[in-house]
Amino acid sequence: MPDYRLDEEHEQLRATVAEFARDVVAPVIAGYYEREEFPYDIVRGMGEMGLFGLPFPEEYEGMGGDYFALCLALEELARVDSSVAITLEAGVSLGAMPIYRFGTEDQRLRWLPDLCSGRRLAAFGLTESDGGSDAQATRTRASLEGGEWVVNGSKVFITNSGTDITSLVTVTAVTGRSEAGNEISAVVVPSGTPGFTVAGHYSKVGWNASNTCELAFADCRVPEANLLGERGRGYAQFLRILDEGRIAIAALGVGLAQGCVDESLRYARERTAFGKNIGSYQAIQFKIADMEARAHTARLAYYDAAARMSRGESFKKQASIAKLVSSNAAMDNAREATQIFGGYGFMNETPVGRFYRDAKILEIGEGTSEVQRMLISREMGLR
């Protein structure tokens, strides 16, 4: 029979990250959130703990762990705050992982040590104003001239791209044409490269303490050696990264859903109405029971996807299921928690107010819920 209990090493990691989230993140994150300020001190602390290096080998200053360890860390962080959790998720899954999966040994040795240690962050530039999931809508171009890639175009909604410690952005760009359509490749563009401009961060509904920017490239030149992976395989490579990243996003969604349960339980025991704690009323009990069931079900879904991935089995369908189920759970639990808190749930000073604002993007980012349903149905043979 499957055993979903954590082994000693994973449980120790989970407990350590939970303590960090409770003692370091929780007391200060509301201020960062309201100021829309990136929490450099918290990120530095996560780096010192080795969280950015969890799934990478020690030779690159990683922790030598696995992807499931990263997911556990994300869940515990998101129980307190999603801005911090998405900074870690994007820094690892979208920033460092493409370098590790597809980079040459020279590229790994050049960039991974700083990324695995958390001293620097990286981002991945896929989405454009007219395209993201639609690869053929990519407008950014990269042409090879005199041993350099000349990049022109723009990217939108790019997480971790504009911080003071961002070292690079991997950009998907059209590098040629074939009978099948655009040839899309991935090119690494270091921060500070002439012609590479980072616009001011967006004013977002949620994830307000994370960094999200628009990028522009105007005759931006980088060495030919900055091609990441095979020419023409950039989009296919990123689809692999997205499959893995959906497990991580699912873990983040579970954390938010469980955080809603945690806060609702605490409030139900403290808040009185008509002479009794509101937790004694069946209407509140049923809401919290349903919330716990959603979080538990979503957790099992991402555990299953992560287990399949670690065994080297196909996990595309399971990753999409986990992402779909967890984002639904997060959104539903955030709505119910806000209802339980009443007027206080509408205040940004309360965690559930932030949870409510943060939940919606989980149904959109790294593949919308509609895309997940499409992928699941395709994996079932429906075309």
Q: For residue range 5-43, list pLDDT tens digits in order.
A: 899 999 999 999 999 999 999 999 999 999 999 999 999
The more confidently predicted of residues 4 and 374 is: 374
Q: Does residue 168 sit in the same domain as residue 95? A: no
Assigned domain for 148 exists = yes
With a CB cutoff of 8 Å and minimum separation 6, the contacts of 13 are: 65, 69, 72, 73
Question: pLDDT at residue 180 above 80?
Answer: no
pLDDT band at 235 (very low <50, low <70, confident <90, very high): confident
How many domains in the chain? 3
Question: What are the pLDDT digits (tens) for 253-287?
Answer: 999 999 999 999 999 999 999 999 999 999 999 99
Q: Does residue 285 sit in the same domain as residue 352? A: yes
Question: pLDDT at residue 302 above 80?
Answer: yes
Q: What is the spatial distance between Cα 90 and Cα 219, in angstroms, rounded to a whole number?
A: 27
CATH of the domain at 142: 2.40.110.10
The answer to whether the beta carbons of residues 330 and 338 sit under 8 Å apart is no
User: Mean of the per-residue pLDDT values for the chain?
Assistant: 95
Q: Does residue 243 sit in the same domain as residue 366? A: yes
The 3-state DSSP class for residue 366 equals coil
Q: How is residue 209 written in tokens?
A: 């303490």
Residue that finishes a domain, picked among 204, 232, 260? 232
Q: What is the spatial distance between Cα 81 and Cα 271, in angstroms, rounded to a whole number?
A: 23
Q: Does residue 258 sit in the same domain as residue 373? A: yes
Q: Does residue 12 sit in the same domain as residue 100? A: yes
Residue that finishes a domain, picked among 182, 216, 232? 232
Q: Of 17, 38, 73, which is closest to residue 165 (Cα–Cα)?
A: 38
Q: Is 179 exposed, middle or buried (0-12, 13-18, 19+ CB in 10 A)?
A: exposed
Q: Does residue 245 sit in the same domain as residue 300? A: yes
Instruction: Return the sign of the alpha-carbon dihedral for residues 308, 334, 162, 38.
Output: negative
Q: Does residue 106 sit in the same domain as residue 24? A: yes
The more confidently predicted of residues 18 and 236 is: 18
Residues 143-162: what's their mean pLDDT? 96
Q: 103-118 b/e with 16+ CB inside 10 Å = b? A: beeebbebbbbbbbbb
List the beta bridge partners of residue 212: 159
Assigned domain for 2 exists = no
Q: What is the spatial distance between Cα 131 and Cα 167, in angstroms, rounded to a whole number?
A: 25
The answer to whether the beta carbons of residues 244 and 319 sit under 8 Å apart is yes
Residues 134-142: what's their mean pLDDT? 85
Q: Does residue 80 sit in the same domain as residue 184? A: no
Q: Does residue 63 sit in the same domain as residue 175? A: no
CATH of the domain at 361: 1.20.140.10
pLDDT band at 292 (very low <50, low <70, confident <90, very high): very high
Question: Can you give the residue range of the structural domain that contains 219?
Answer: 122-232
Ramachandran quadrant class, 118 (left: phi over 0; alpha: psi -120 to 50; beta: rest): left
Residues 170-196: what's their mean pLDDT? 92
Assigned domain for 210 exists = yes
CATH of the domain at 63: 1.10.540.10
Question: pLDDT at residue 133 above 70?
Answer: no
Q: What is the pLDDT of residue 181?
A: 80
Question: pLDDT at residue 214 above 70?
Answer: yes
Assigned domain for 351 exists = yes
Question: pLDDT at residue 1 above 70?
Answer: no
The answer to whether the beta carbons of residues 265 and 337 sit under 8 Å apart is no
Q: Does residue 353 sit in the same domain as residue 244? A: yes
Q: Does residue 369 sit in the same domain as residue 325? A: yes
Residues 61-88: what's their mean pLDDT? 97
Assigned domain for 1 exists = no
Question: What are the pLDDT digits (tens) for 359-376?
Answer: 999 999 989 999 999 999
Q: Does residue 108 sit in the same domain as residue 207? A: no
- Per cent of the chain over pLDDT 90 is 91
Assigned domain for 3 exists = no
Assigned domain for 47 exists = yes
Residue that finishes a domain, picked among 188, 207, 232? 232
Question: pLDDT at residue 307 above 80?
Answer: yes
Q: What is the pLDDT of residue 155?
A: 96
Question: pLDDT at residue 74 above 80?
Answer: yes
Which residues are identified as catalytic? Answer: 366
